[in-house]
Chain A
Amino acid sequence: MSGPDDDRGSREALARVVREHAGRLAACLVSLLDDFSAAEDLVQDAVETALRRWPVEGVPERPDAWLLTVARRRGLDVLRRETNYRAKLARLRWPEPGKADDRLRLIFTCCHPALSPEARIALTLRVVCGLGTAQIAAAFVVPETTVAQRITRAKRKIAVAGIPYRIPAPDELPERLGAVLAVVYLLFNEGYLSSTGDRAEARDLAGDAEWLAALLAGLMPGEPEVAGLLALIRLHRARGAARFDSGGRLVPLSEQDRTLWDHAAIAEATAALTRAARAHRRPGPYQLQAAIVACHAEAAGFEQTDWAQILVLYDMLLAVAPSPVTRLHRAVALRYVKGPAAALAELTGLEETLSRYPLLHATRAELLRALGDTDQARLSDERALGLTANPAQQALLHRRLDPAHGDVRYG
């Protein structure tokens, strides 16, 4: 029997195999050829060929060797005039026994701050995760030509501006690691916030983000923020099954069926987070965000949530990474510690900076409703509705504006 679910399943399995090998091959070829762009072209060509042929012919027994053969054959073909490349390619053996995983260098090059944020994401997905241009375009709902152009430009800049292929020096590392983690986090948000219900063909970007974070955690075991980001992603994903109801509608946190959460995964992620925090005692924004999510994930029910602890964590987060969006989330925690009036007062200071941010208005609506001001609450909900393009959020707000329904909270 073969239905759309089976197709999707086999497509995902295929993508996983490609993902395990494409980045390694790319890293190996960049070192060998000393030419990022040429190496990337060869790997991309092998990936596209695999994505076309494996569904028909089946995944080969040694996918890595298969990809290498296609990339090398292609290389010998297109780089005909470059005798120097040809000689190198002819010598290529891969995987090289005993050779360390070089993908970290690849990641730092792809996430270099001299590239635009969009280019960093597209390059990382293509070069490190082995996604095809069409898959990236589908995931971000942009034309394929746009993605192709972004990648071409980025590769040209790498070559012309001399963006190096190496792990940054220790004095540059904190800042550069921050740029890498930001790419993974953005990728996760993009995948996590979009409901895949109406985009069955869409790539599971949250899965790619988790895979990247795990790869980084394996390659940089001494960085607590990497561990923090991995824990954050895993804690969010562990609750994935309860976030949407059978109709694909967003279920607010307060109403989620907590028996659907993956409690083993939550325990494991929380333990990893605690280990990193104890070993390094350097709480950064990702560890703190993960700790906040862990508080929610460990509560037996919404009523048992340790809001006082969450409030403390938000204060720590604001101290290391001040942001109006974080202040907004803190206000929600404040509501359950000091009441809706105190929380509403906090929002007043955020109105100007976050006036186009739907969650500000949705939160205000909840607080006003809790204070009994249904008319003003309605206006705020309508404002939020006008600002969000996310169908799941829109549906939730519509339900809230429908007088037949009671108070539903934003998830």
Chain B
Amino acid sequence: MKTSRSHRSSAASPLEVHLDSWLREFGPRGNEKVEADSVNQLLDVLEERYPRLRFKIRDETGALRRYVRVFVDGEDVSATTGLTTSLSGAQAIDILHSIAGG
């Protein structure tokens, strides 16, 4: 799969992760610093720190849940490079729920 960014160097500074207010029930209350090379790896780290996040963002097959959106520096990658998106050079990740329902 095509990724929009090259691999993150190990010397890079941690990314800042912003979680949806609903997701904060399961994870960090505030912004979280994480070092990761891809969205998948970032979620692995977050889930290890906050086990209640497991299966909330990705289901047990490892797929991103249907109504979860991931933004890398403001760009929505959910429907493009998705979980394999490289985080090289990225500074901020937003994980939000999409506008859906009724």
To the question of whether A and B form a pair in one complex, the answer is no
